[in-house]
Amino acid sequence: MASFNVKPSKPVAIFGALFGVAILLFGVFSGIGRGNGFIWLWVAAGIAIMGFNLWAAFSKRGATEILESRDEDQTA
């Protein structure tokens, strides 16, 4: 069984990281002055999106998927 790592292109991953920055900024600036905990969830989501996309863009092992193919000759 062969496995292949699927990695997004750098422009797509960087665009995703910029989208995470936009989510982070929107959450921070629209949530200022509100005393609820949702702002922390929003900030955590923005940081997670940014981190995942930057990892996928610049890491050698930054594969977001692993595809496995089975050989047709093998019977299970």
Angle, in degrees to the nearest 10, between helices 10-31 and 38-58: 160
Number of domains in the chain: 1
**pLDDT tens digit sequence for 5-17:** 777 788 888 999 9
Show the domain range for 48.
20-59
The answer as to whether 7 is a domain residue is no
The answer as to whether 26 is a domain residue is yes
The answer as to whether 43 is a domain residue is yes
The answer as to whether 74 is a domain residue is no
Average pLDDT over residues 58-69: 73
Band of pLDDT at residue 73, cut at 50, 70 and 90: low
The answer as to whether 6 is a domain residue is no
The answer as to whether 13 is a domain residue is no
Count CB-CB contacts under 10 A for residue 46: 20
**pLDDT tens digit sequence for 24-51:** 898 888 877 676 788 888 888 999 999 9
Tell which phi-psi region holds residue 34, choosing left (phi > 0), alpha (psi between -120 and 50) or beta. Answer: beta
The answer as to whether 40 is a domain residue is yes
